[in-house]
Structure 1
């Protein structure tokens, strides 16, 4: 089996049509069809079912797909290793993170990395924790920064390294006529006009669960927004929002208050594939994440007792 044929097969399954796959891979559609036919001849089985609405994997195709993705990821890792022998003058790192961390911790890490290693290509994927762990296990990501809470997290095949714990805080416009108090209880928050995240956000799920546990109904002015839009809406005085403490840093347009009764917290972890050696560029990225976390000194960002913010932990 040739890697280019496996890459073509993976693209057709992921995109759902031969046409889209051909466009992504810059192939003429007849050439793409020949590659699929050759691959099917090599494995001795039909891999794709063609229909009016596109292409879908057969049972044999579903068996081959994760194997193909691992082979492609291993080949990409081999290329990166060879590129990086020149001292990180070339290479690539693919990092995954939730949107709430892309505007804070991850932004700082990427800024430092690109300054120190301008020849290394950086790729970032934004998604929720479960989607990121799935992509990490499939070899699509080198590293991921993920969120855990008190509930169990299925992370088979991944190792989680706990970085820090941060509080969720209430933010409002810095020009709000009445300044926020130092603390706001959940019952008081429920009466305040809120800008709410899209329901796909883990942050939204956590706050909704907290309100439900207290039989409270929040007053929502705008809902369904993404992180950048939420912050902009709050800065313009449309309402308050519940955000992670690190988001507040370097945002003079916001003021914030601690959320109490109950306090809501989340743990930030670095995830990597268990038993898989990191490329030189990914290992450098990992060390820079540790370095950035060690230098973080913000209200609401909590250290564990003992002072060391970094230790490997079992998936929860």
Structure 2
């Protein structure tokens, strides 16, 4: 079993065809086919279904996908370690972070590492689940810190909860509910909404909050993957949204946004550290994890001191 065979196998599964896989990794289709056949011979079983319109893994092939991702990521990690040792560097860590986590937790950890371990090089990569989970499994990130919205079951990843984040209904100062003394579920139902994608269990809770009161859940007029775009819309138009409280803390303090307090319309989700199961932690990654854990303690204390409204 060779690394090139595993790369060919994963490319075929990801692309759904031998020809597109060959194009993706820059080899001939014959080379892809040869690598897959050799891999199947080494394993002793068929790994790819070839009699379907889309190439897909057999049951054993599905098992191999997770192991192959891990093997290739470990191999790449070893190669980076060799390069770091030859360059007399402490190592490079690719740290993924969601916007909320980056505000305090990740920033604190990065500054701590920069102060105490200036031999470690950090690549901080903006991201969010579930895309970050794929990046971890494919070895494109070493660690990811972000809100677990329950949008997927991340097989092959370990999860360590650092803190919890509060989601609340947010209005811009132009929205009439931002200044209302009393807000009802019907008021929220009658408003226009901009909702983020991949909210997972938070979106499910948002919908349930209306239906449990006998109301039809509003249909979002705008959906987005950009939290910055969402904030800008809220500050310039009479929309409502559901956002992490920490993400809009400064805008709430300066009066541009308001967090609407209404029973049943706030939701907590964990902020967690994710990494590949069975991964090999070098000194740089271990030091980064420890810095994140220490920063998480400060982050929890910060959240505990903040008012909801």
Aligned to 1:311: none
Gaps of 5+ in 2: none
In structure 1, how many angstroms separate the alpha carbons of the residues matched to 2:181 and 2:79?
A: 52
In structure 1, how many angstroms separate the alpha carbons of the residues matched to 2:43 and 2:123?
A: 35
- 8 Å CA contact 1:185–1:261 kept in 2: the answer is no
The answer on 1:180 being equivalent to 2:183 is no
- Describe how 1:106-125 pairs up with structure 2 within 5 A: 106=102, 109=106, 113=110, 116=114, 119-123=121-125, 125=127
- 8 Å CA contact 1:169–1:245 kept in 2: the answer is yes
Aligned to 1:170: 169
- CA RMSD between the two structures: 4.1
The alpha-carbon deviation at position 208 of structure 1 amounts to 1.0
The answer on 1:255 being equivalent to 2:251 is no
In structure 2, how many angstroms separate the alpha carbons of the residues matched to 1:26 and 1:206?
A: 45
In structure 2, how many angstroms separate the alpha carbons of the residues matched to 1:214 and 1:24?
A: 51
Residue 268 of structure 1 aligns to a residue in which SS?
Answer: strand
Q: Against the structure 1 CA distance between its residues 63 and 210, is the aligned structure 2 distance closer, same or farther, given a 3 Å change threshold?
A: same
Q: Against the structure 1 CA distance between its residues 88 and 191, is the aligned structure 2 distance closer, same or farther, given a 3 Å change threshold?
A: farther
Residue 22 of structure 2 aligns to a residue in which SS?
Answer: helix
Q: Which whole-Å deviations, capped at 9, do the CAs of 1:247-292 have from their partners, x for residues lacking one?
A: 2034469411243313432332224456655333333432343354
The answer on 1:285 being equivalent to 2:288 is yes
- 8 Å CA contact 1:169–1:244 kept in 2: the answer is yes
Aligned to 1:93: 94
Aligned to 2:129: 127
Gaps of 5+ in 1: 304-316
- 8 Å CA contact 1:170–1:184 kept in 2: the answer is no
The alpha-carbon deviation at position 27 of structure 1 amounts to 1.9
Q: Against the structure 1 CA distance between its residues 244 and 78, is the aligned structure 2 distance closer, same or farther, given a 3 Å change threshold?
A: same
Q: Which structure shows the higher helix fraction? A: 2
Q: Against the structure 1 CA distance between its residues 302 and 213, is the aligned structure 2 distance closer, same or farther, given a 3 Å change threshold?
A: farther
Aligned to 2:27: 27
Q: Which whole-Å deviations, capped at 9, do the CAs of 1:85-122 have from their partners, x for residues lacking one?
A: 46755434253x6xxxx222236526974994784445
In structure 1, how many angstroms separate the alpha carbons of the residues matched to 2:155 and 2:198?
A: 26
- 8 Å CA contact 1:163–1:269 kept in 2: the answer is yes
Residue 195 of structure 1 aligns to a residue in which SS?
Answer: strand
Aligned to 2:270: 267
- Describe how 1:38-187 pairs up with structure 2 within 5 A: 38-51=38-51, 53-85=53-85, 90-93=91-94, 95=96, 102-106=98-102, 109=106, 113=110, 116=114, 119-123=121-125, 125-128=127-130, 142-145=142-145, 147=147, 160-176=159-175, 179-181=178-180, 184=183, 186-187=185-186
Residue 24 of structure 1 aligns to a residue in which SS?
Answer: helix
Residue 196 of structure 1 aligns to a residue in which SS?
Answer: strand
Aligned to 1:246: 246
Question: What TM-score does the superposition give when structure 1 sets the normalisation length?
Answer: 0.71
Question: What TM-score does the superposition give when structure 2 sets the normalisation length?
Answer: 0.73
In structure 2, how many angstroms separate the alpha carbons of the residues matched to 1:274 and 1:53?
A: 33
The alpha-carbon deviation at position 226 of structure 1 amounts to 2.5
In structure 1, how many angstroms separate the alpha carbons of the residues matched to 2:277 and 2:40?
A: 32
In structure 2, how many angstroms separate the alpha carbons of the residues matched to 1:236 and 1:257?
A: 16
Q: Which whole-Å deviations, capped at 9, do the CAs of 1:48-72 have from their partners, x for residues lacking one?
A: 2335734222344334333323322
Aligned to 1:309: none
In structure 2, how many angstroms separate the alpha carbons of the residues matched to 1:92 and 1:18?
A: 33
Provide the aligned length of Structure 1 versus Structure 2. 293
